[in-house]
Each structure stands twice: as C-alpha cells, then as structure tokens.
C-alpha cells in the first residue's frame, strides 16, 4: 500500500472508531444494514424469514437510545415514545414482538392471524422491486392460527411489566374459505383480545361491483357491530377493552370512503389504519421486472395514494377518529406528511425490509427535525395541520394546492 493511501485508511479507521465510541449501538445498526444488503440478494420470502429468525434468536440490534422528547404522544390513553410503529405482516405469528419494540418501534402489529392455521399461496409470493423501493406480495395470509399465536401473546404479556414501553396490536384475519368474515373475526377477538393493546380488522376489499352503496354501508355496519359486541361481551374486569381499528385499502371509491367514515363515527370505532397495499400498478412499476406480478403493492409507489386516502378519511371523520398512517414511509419527511394529513401514528414495513433497521431511527430523528423546523411543540399539534388554514405554520411542500383551494373555499 502506498504511504498516502495507507495514511488515509488509518485515518478512516480512526475516524470510525471515534464515531462509534460516541455511539456504540450505531455500529450494530450499520452492520445490520450491511447484512441487509447481502440478504437482499436472496429471494424476498427467504430474507423475510431470515429477518424473523434473527429477531427470534436475539441477533438483531437493540436501540436503547431514548427517542426525542418531541415525538412523545398519547393515543387511546396510551403513551407512545414515538408515533412510529411496525405494520402488520412482518411478524405474522407474534414470534418477535419484544424484538420489534427493541429495534426502536413504539408499537408492533402482529398478524394477520386467522382462526385456523393456513399455508397461504404457492411460492414465489413475494417480489422485491428494489429500484422502485417497492414490494409486491401475495402471501395469502399464511399464519399459525389463533391458538399458536394466542400462546405467544399470552407469554409476552405475562413477561412484560406494569409500565410497558411498547404496545402490541393484533391484526385479525379470516380463513381463506370463510364466507362469514365477522364470524372469523369474532373467534380472533375471543381468543386474542385479552392480550392486545389494540385490535385490527380488515375491510380492505376493493368495491364489489354491483353492490349498492347503502348495502355496502349496512353490511359494513353489521360486520363491525358484531365484532364490537363480541369484544364488549368479554370480561374486562372494569378495565376498558382494547380499541378496535379498521384497516382499509387505498383502492376505494368516494362512496366507500363515505360509508367507512359514517360507520366508524356511528359505531364508535376507535381508529382507522390507512392503508393496506394496493392492487393498482402505476405504469412505472408495471414496466419493471416483477412489476406485473399479481398481489398487493407496497412501498414508495404507495406513498402518495395512501396519503391521499388518509387525508380524505381525516376530513370525512372530522378528525374525531385517530388514524394510523401507513404506506411508503421511508423518511421522516414522509412520516411528517402523514401526520399533517391526519395521522396520529405512523407505521412502516417495506422500507424496513429493503433498508434494514437503521431506517427506524432515521425516520424518527428526521420527523423530530421536521416538527421543530415548522414550530410544532408536539406530534399531536401537527396531526391534521394540513386541514387547518390560517395557522402560523407553513403549509408543507407535499400539500397539493388543490387541497388548499377546497379547504379555503
């Protein structure tokens, strides 16, 4: 090695040593990001399985650094140290609950869990479109079923102390051949609700053609009220039951959105998760290798459409129903845009799968910086800010002008 480049290498190593001494956990995060690059060479499902395995074995880094104070927020009477959580489908079987929280999320949503275990669709069923920052999946809800998952969540709740640092959401599904979805959700509620900090049911169906709007609304109301009744019939020993959230698709008609908002307000649904993956294929995605695969598209191309639906749902529910914003979040600026559009909490999945756990801290720090930049004292203050004209706060750049036009008209 030439002396000059040798000196440069020594300098670089010394620099890194100083850098990591200041912040040793960063080394683990960077290492896991590098590991993530290798794992990316494997197929989508194998790398997902390896990720879960590493989490189960405790090989994932813990991020014990405190979250910025400004990110602290209270929803459903629960304190979240950051509004950023892990979305459903990553830990389908509740095998890595504590580990997801240790990675730096303030909440993790397991599932979807169906009454009986089911194998899902034939492989391959996960496709990474790395250049588009996207994933297409058609897993078909492979999972261990409510009994196996029930044992795991019971163990988790038994181990954690009286002042939990993170929260557990349980996403309930229906078996493939079940026609009465409410019946399956009720089984999930009966078995899993006692261990959940919140529950999610999915009403992600793209509109059934020919179904009259009112019928759609009636059916949805009947589904949701059966699930609420089942939950409220359990013995909560004077404690409030876990909030029930409904998760929706981004591919909804205006009528669908009005129906869902009306039902949520009428029945007192405690939250909405917006949104699931999309069955749409933007032309730039369809043109990529794998881009035409069937399934749900997540990641970067989902950011705009899911945020638009979030904005609509906040407006239609008049800001009265807490919303969890999910879809394409890979930066703090994007998490901030979801908050301004109306999200009280934010989740991510695909950016974690593509970039590794370093993305979690990045999103949190950037979100804190966005809030400070625009003069917000807390997350709660910024929730729905795009909908309020005439504040001191600068409208965000992501705010489309037509929206302001309608708000101010």
Ligand X SMILES: *[C@@H]1O[C@H](CO)[C@@H](O)[C@H](O)[C@H]1NC(C)=O
Ligand Y SMILES: Cc1cc2nc3c(=O)[nH]c(=O)nc-3n(C[C@H](O)[C@H](O)[C@H](O)COP(=O)(O)O)c2cc1C
Instruction: Compute the CA torsion angle 170, 174, 180, 184 (nearest 10 deg).
Output: -50
Closer to ligand X by CB, 276 or 317: give it: 276
Strand residues in 203-258 grouped as ranges (E): 244-248
Work out what residue 139 binds among ligand Y, ligand X, none; the CB cut-off runs from 5 to 8 Å by kind: ligand Y
Of 344, 345, 338, 348, nearest to 386 by C-alpha is: 338
- Does position 307 interact with ligand Y (CB under 6 A)? The reply is no
- Choice between 171 and 317, CB closer to ligand Y: 171
> Which residues face 135 on adjacent strands?
128, 298
Asked whether position 208 contacts ligand X by CB under 6 A, the answer is: no
Query: Is residue 32 among the annotated active site residues?
Result: no
Does 193 participate in binding ligand X (rule CB under 6 A)?
no
Stretch of residues binding ligand Y (CB under 6 A), selected from 25-33, 67-75, 229-237, 344-352? 344-352
**What is each CA distance from 241 to 62, 88, 219, in whole angstroms?**
31, 21, 24
Q: Which is nearer to ligand X, 81 or 275 (CB)?
A: 275
Q: Which of residues 343-402 bind ligand X (CB under 6 A)?
A: none
Assigned token pair, 5: 């480049």
State phi, psi for 326 to the nearest 5 degrees: -145, 145
Stretches 170-178, 308-316, 344-352, 389-397: which one binds ligand X (CB under 6 A)? 170-178
Q: How near is the Cβ of 149 to ligand X at its closest, in Å?
A: 13
Give 322 or 395: the residue with its C-beta nearer to ligand Y.
Answer: 322
**Dist. CA 99–CA 62, nearest whole Å:** 8
> Does residue 137 bind ligand Y (CB under 6 A)?
yes
Q: What span, in angstroms and rounded, lies between the C-alpha atoms of 229 and 172?
A: 16
Structure tokens at 149: 């998952």
223/302 Cα distance (integer angstroms): 27
Which of these ranges, 94-102, 156-164, 174-182, 264-272, lies near ligand X under the rule CB under 6 A? 174-182
Length of the chain: 409
Q: Contact at 8 Å (CB) between 61 and 25?
A: yes
- Among residues 179 and 392, whose Cβ is nearest to ligand X? 179
Binding-site ranges for ligand Y (CB under 6 A): 87-89, 92, 111-112, 126, 135, 137, 139, 141, 171, 202, 247, 276-277, 298-299, 302, 326-329, 348-351
List, by residue number, the catalytic residues. 205
């Amino acid at each position: 090695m030439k002396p000059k480049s040798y000196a440069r290498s020594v300098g670089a190593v010394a620099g890194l040593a100083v850098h990591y001494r200041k912040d040793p956990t960063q080394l683990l995060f960077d290492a896991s990001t590098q590991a993530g690059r290798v794992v990316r060479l494997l197929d989508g499902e194998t790398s997902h399985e390896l990720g879960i395995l590493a989490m189960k074995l405790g090989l994932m880094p813990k991020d014990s650094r405190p979250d910025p104070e400004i990110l602290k927020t209270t929803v459903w009477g629960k304190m979240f140290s950051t509004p950023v959580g892990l979305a459903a489908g990553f830990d389908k079987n509740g095998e890595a609950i504590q580990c997801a929280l240790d990675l730096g999320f303030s909440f993790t949503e397991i599932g979807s869990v169906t009454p009986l275990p089911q194998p899902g669709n034939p492989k391959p069923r996960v496709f990474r479109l790395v250049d588009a920052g996207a994933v297409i999946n058609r897993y078909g809800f492979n999972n261990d079923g409510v009994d196996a998952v029930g044992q795991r969540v019971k163990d988790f709740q038994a181990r954690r102390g009286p002042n939990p640092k993170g929260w557990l959401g349980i996403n309930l599904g229906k078996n493939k051949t079940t026609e009465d979805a409410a019946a399956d959700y009720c089984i999930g509620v009966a078995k899993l609700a006692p261990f959940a900090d919140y529950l999610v049911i999915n009403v992600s169906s793209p509109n059934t053609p020919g179904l009259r709007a009112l019928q759609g609304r009636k059916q949805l109301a009947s589904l949701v009220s059966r699930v609420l009744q089942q939950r409220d019939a359990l013995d909560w020993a004077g404690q409030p039951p876990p909030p029930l959230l409904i998760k929706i698709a981004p591919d909804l008609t205006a009528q669908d959105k009005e129906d869902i908002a009306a039902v949520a307000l009428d029945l007192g649904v405690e939250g909405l998760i917006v949104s699931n993956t999309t069955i749409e294929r933007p032309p730039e995605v369809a043109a990529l290798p794998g881009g035409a695969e069937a399934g749900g598209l997540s990641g970067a191309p989902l950011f705009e459409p899911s945020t638009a639906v979030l904005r609509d749902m906040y407006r239609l529910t008049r800001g009265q129903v807490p919303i969890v914003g999910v879809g394409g979040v890979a930066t703090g600026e994007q998490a901030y845009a979801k908050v301004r559009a109306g999200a009280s909490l934010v989740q991510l999945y695909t950016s974690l799968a593509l970039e590794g756990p370093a993305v979690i801290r990045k999103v949190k720090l950037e979100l804190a910086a966005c809030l400070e930049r625009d003069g917000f004292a807390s997350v709660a203050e910024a929730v729905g800010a795009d909908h309020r004209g005439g504040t001191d706060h600068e409208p965000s750049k992501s705010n489309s002008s037509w929206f302001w036009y309608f708000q101010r008209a």
